[in-house]
Chains A and B, each alone.
Chain A
Amino acid sequence: EAGVTQFPSHSVIEKGQTVTLRCDPISGHDNLYWYRRVMGKEIKFLLHFVKESKQDESGMPNNRFLAERTGGTYSTLKVQPAELEDSGVYFCASSTGGGLNYGYTFGSGTRLTVV
């Protein structure tokens, strides 16, 4: 089975620009999550989709971040306009149920650098 795929793997953009990260979950996984790790800090929750609906977006830092999940398949996370503090590694994960039994399957992440 193919894993969770994220791209790009790396992105370097200037402050004020827009960046869109994409995540393709494992086929059939209704639950999709975005997490972020800022340098030196722990991995932190951003939001959770069940199919195409946002179940919990309590971790989204501000309205410069917009997540969508088209038709309950792939998801995008757009940052507009990007700020220096948005730099970090953005992870996507998916699961069949709520993740309680088997945790999540994570992608390899997108390393975002805002200069």
Chain B
Amino acid sequence: LAKTTQPISMDSYEGQEVNITCSHNNIATNDYITWYQQFPSQGPRFIIQGYKTKVTNEVASLFIPADRKSSTLSLPRVSLSDTAVYYCLVGDRHSSASKIIFGSGTRLSIRP
């Protein structure tokens, strides 16, 4: 089971690009990397998922180096509404959901 390590908290300012890095040194061949966002008083929201290189959608980009031992969630031009907790999950998407661990996440605070 690939363990993930991500910063407990990060601060940034409106309009900046924010990069949150997640370490997963023990990632397995079949594992994917998935990121969720959770606003206060709401359920987690699926943001993006990737296996290698780069994935981009309307919300974020996910950069995965060739060795896949880490990944970076990139949020372009953040606003106050991007203040949330961001979770990095690693695992085989076809495996049992019993192995899913959300961890403590990264608490991102955006300032004006």
Q: Do A and B bind each other?
A: no
Q: List chain B positions with a Cβ less than 8 A from chain A.
A: none
Q: List chain A positions with a Cβ less than 8 A from chain B.
A: none
